[in-house]
Amino acid sequence: MTTEPPAGDIKKLWRNQKTEGTAVTLENIHERTSQFQRVIRTRNLFEYGAAALVIVVFAAYTWIFPGWIMKTGSALSILAALFVSWQLHRRGSARDLPGGSGIVEFHRRELVRQRDTLRAVWLWYLLPFVPGIALVMLSRWIEPLPWGTPAWDHVLTAFSTVIVVLVFGIVWFVNAREAVKLQEKIGELDKLLEGGDRD
C-alpha cells in the first residue's frame, strides 16, 4: 500500500491507492457506487415481486380454505408482506448518486445503511411472517379439510413446518454473511479515509 497523502486531499488519496493492481480513482469509485445502487434496485424489485406473489397466494388461501384460523393466518401473512415491502423501501431503497467530490462519503454511508438493513433482517423481514405462518400451520393441524385425511394433513404440515424453518434459517444466514461482506468493504474505505468518527 502506498503512503497516504496529507489529510483533506481526498482526490490524491484515491489516485495513489492500489486495489488488485488497479489504481483507485474518483472515476472508478463513482462506477462502483453506481453499480452498488443498481444491485440494490435489482434486489428490491425481486423482493417486491416476491411480496406480490405472497399476497396473491395467501389471498387465494382465504378464498379456498375453510376455517377461521387459516383465514386469519393468511390475512396476517398478507399484512406481513405489505409491511416487509414498506420496511425494505424505508431501510434499503437505492438512492441517487450525489454530484461532486462527496461520492466517497456517500458510498460509505450507503454501505453502512445496507449493512444495518441486512443485520436486522430477522426483525423486519422474518419476524413479521411468524404469526401468520404459525396460524396457517396450526390450521392445517386442527381444522380438517372436506377432502383428504387428518393423518395425511398432519404429515404434510409437519414437513412444511420443517421446510419453513429451514428457509427462514437460510435467509437469515445469507443476509448475515452479506452484512459481513459489506462490513469488510466499509473497513477498506476506512483505511483510505482520514479522521472523523466511523460506524
Q: Note the pLDDT tens digit of each residue in 129-166.
A: 999 999 999 998 888 776 666 777 788 889 999 999 99
What percent of the chain stands above pLDDT 90? 64
Whole-angstrom distance, CA of residue 70 vs CA of residue 27: 55
Give the per-residue pLDDT at 152.
77
- Looking at the DSSP assignment, which residues form a beta bridge with residue 22? 19
Q: Which residue has the higher pLDDT, 143 or 92?
A: 92
Give the per-residue pLDDT at 77.
98
Above 70 in pLDDT, residue 5? no
Cα-flanking dihedrals φ and ψ of residue 87, to 5°?
-65, -40
Q: What is the mean pLDDT of residues 99-117?
A: 91
Residue-wise pLDDT for 6-60, tens only, equals: 444 544 443 444 434 443 345 678 888 999 999 999 999 999 999 999 999 999 9
Cα-flanking dihedrals φ and ψ of residue 194, to 5°?
-110, 145
Q: Are 54 and 81 in contact (CB under 8 A)?
A: yes
- Poorest-pLDDT segment among 59-63, 101-105, 163-167, 191-195: 191-195
Give the per-residue pLDDT at 61.
94
pTM of the model: 0.81
Give the per-residue pLDDT at 25.
46
- Residue 187, classified by CB atoms within 10 Å of its CB into exposed (0-12), middle (13-18) or buried (19+), is exposed
